[in-house]
Structure 1
Amino acid sequence: MPADPNPTVRRRRLGGLLRRLREAAGLTLEEAAAHLECHKATVSRLELGRSGVRTRDLRQLLVLYGVTDEERIEPYLKMAKQGRESGWWERHADGLRPAYTDFIALEAEAAEVRNYQPLLIPGLLQTPAYARAVIGAHPAVVTEEELERRVEVRLSRQALLTDGRGLRFWAVVGEGALRSAVGGRNVMREQLEHLLSAARLPNVDVQVLPCDVGEHPGGSGPFVILTFPLPEESHIVCEEGLLTSVYLDSVEEVKSYASAFDALRAAALGPRKSQDMIAELLTDL
């Protein structure tokens, strides 16, 4: 199991799942290592995603942790294999922050994405012109070539909504995001038209959080909750900052953000009324 100082997000997710299985089985790192006849540091690196895992060793660990059904084992084996593969985004890795490529990899494997955006249209719902205006305003983007590369990546991500694999996307968007003059009137008119069209997709729900809603639990800023059904249901929260992102995956952290998102949904307009508001703003433009 060669060490990797920059573990892929897929390896980290597999390692986190194995850690939870070990803890649920009441076993220590030492006991798991003794079963594999290796040092506990080897198992620790695996759980941190800093090393790959051989199929034989993965099977042994799963059986030790009580996962014996072949149908349950197979998704773990698939994850381990994917951890050694490159995604389409890797060809852009030189021009993207590692935290962003991590997010793209997670997003590509999620079954459900819940996104709260108070001030901007979510990336999966942006038009090319809107994305170009938003990305171009970022202080880390310094060349036209870099700008176009990042816009290309953002638009490539959007295939998740229409490629037929069934991603469920739920967005709560602040009213301020709809009223901002990002890129000018023409850009915003096109963006609202696109947002309205996307909101009518069967796998997409868009809810608008009105400016006059009062206090709500979204004051800490935008966040995304990603849900993965296999091998075991798991969730990861991403808080995106100006230059970096924070990933949270403990049960308590995910529960807090899920509760916050539910409260935001309850405070926001329903999907149909949200579409009506977007249409009204389009008429004003």
Structure 2
Amino acid sequence: MTIDVVAERLGCSPSKVSRIETGHTSATPRDVKDMLDIYGVDGVESDELVQISREARQKGWWHPFSTVLSGAFVGMEAAAKTVRAYEQQVVPGLLQTDKYAIAMIRAARPSDSDQEIEQRVRVRMARQALLIQDDPIDLQVVLDEAVVSRPVGGDEVMRDQMLRLVEMSLLPNVTLQILPFAAGAHAGMDGTFSILDFPDAEDPNVVFAENATGGLFLEKSDELRKYNSIFETIRATALSPEESRNMIVLLAEEPLWKLRPRVSGSI
């Protein structure tokens, strides 16, 4: 059945059908029902697809903050069952305190206005509900030791952040590990990433490789296998959850940045 035939039976232009099929425009539940009738799809399958089209048009809680969000990560994170993440530089957004988030965003985005920073922090804090809701996501995080060794926002902010990490690591759905400097070169040195696993077995996992402009979603089976292997390797190399928690408690009281001499940038 050609696009022209479908368009004629729908009473619309062929370009509209083309835009729907290629994902360049959303389809109303009415459009979906009419197209399914044309294609001979009925019963339970039709009802499910029409319901999906209704849900797809509902805006998530993060929609008002679209001006400070890039990409679809927040929405995909909200739909995930499990998030497995490796972080090299900063505490993951799901585990940040608001003051740490403010200091980090100000340093990473010096051109952002106070209002934009406030909105970014509000989104970050709202995302954390995923860890404590009735059906929370399972979060597995490996942090490079650099994350807990670099003071962000000053001593007090960093100490509070350390204590937050300890608190969150005690949740039954959160596994937190530290990859120590002593591990030397390791499998995750190419960069930070997150693996999102979804509850529907037919919905493939997604890797999000983060960068300064947002990030890149990877979905090919060979890419997924590679990142699954990387995560399992660095997880096996990292300290155990209990050892990691003890290390963070110690660093909260005796931070490394106070013990090490300051080195001038000038030579």
TM-score by length of 1: 0.76
Q: Does 1:254 align with 2:224?
A: yes
1:232-262 superposed Cα distances (whole Å, 9 cap, x missing partner): 2421111111123111111121121111111
Q: What does residue 50 of structure 1 align with?
A: 24
Instruction: Give the letter aligned to residue 56 of structure 2.
Output: G
Label 1:265 to 1:37 Cα distance change in 2 as closer, same or farther (>3 A): farther
Instruction: Give the letter aligned to residue 98 of structure 2.
Output: P
5+ residue gaps, structure 1 = 1-32
Map 1:1-285 to 2 at 5 A: 38=6, 48-53=22-27, 54-55=32-33, 57=35, 70=44, 78-94=51-67, 96-99=68-71, 102-139=72-109, 141-230=111-200, 232-285=202-255
Moved more, 198-207 or 264-273: 264-273
Q: How far, CA to CA, are the matches of 2:227 and 2:132 in structure 1? A: 27
1:36–1:57 CA contact under 8 A, matched in 2: no
Q: How far, CA to CA, are the matches of 2:43 and 2:189 in structure 1? A: 44
5+ residue gaps, structure 2 = 8-13, 256-267
Instruction: Give the letter aligned to residue 151 of structure 2.
Output: A
Instruction: Give the letter aligned to residue 49 of structure 1.
Output: G
Q: How far, CA to CA, are the matches of 2:37 and 2:148 in structure 1? A: 50
1:165-195 superposed Cα distances (whole Å, 9 cap, x missing partner): 2211111101110011111111110000000
Q: CA deviation at 1:226?
A: 0.8
Q: How far, CA to CA, are the matches of 2:148 and 2:101 in structure 1? A: 14
Q: How far, CA to CA, are the matches of 2:84 and 2:235 in structure 1? A: 10
Q: CA deviation at 1:163?
A: 1.2
Q: What does residue 258 of structure 2 align with?
A: none
Instruction: Give the letter aligned to residue 283 of structure 1.
Output: E
Instruction: Give the letter aligned to residue 89 of structure 1.
Output: W
Q: How far, CA to CA, are the matches of 2:215 and 2:73 in structure 1? A: 9
In angstroms, what is the RMSD of aligned CA positions? 2.9
1:220-239 superposed Cα distances (whole Å, 9 cap, x missing partner): 21111111122624211111
Instruction: Give the letter aligned to residue 162 of structure 1.
Output: I
Q: How far, CA to CA, are the matches of 1:270 and 1:47 in structure 2? A: 48
Q: Which has the larger radius of gyration?
A: 2
Label 1:219 to 1:59 Cα distance change in 2 as closer, same or farther (>3 A): farther
1:76–1:231 CA contact under 8 A, matched in 2: no
Q: How far, CA to CA, are the matches of 2:57 and 2:213 in structure 1? A: 27
Aligned partner of residue 215 in structure 1, secondary structure: coil
Aligned partner of residue 269 in structure 1, secondary structure: coil
2:6–2:38 CA contact under 8 A, matched in 1: no
Label 1:212 to 1:36 Cα distance change in 2 as closer, same or farther (>3 A): farther
1:1-27 superposed Cα distances (whole Å, 9 cap, x missing partner): xxxxxxxxxxxxxxxxxxxxxxxxxxx
Q: CA deviation at 1:97?
A: 3.6
Label 1:148 to 1:252 Cα distance change in 2 as closer, same or farther (>3 A): same
Aligned length: 245
Instruction: Give the letter aligned to residue 194 of structure 2.
Output: V
Aligned partner of residue 137 in structure 1, secondary structure: helix
Instruction: Give the letter aligned to residue 25 of structure 2.
Output: S
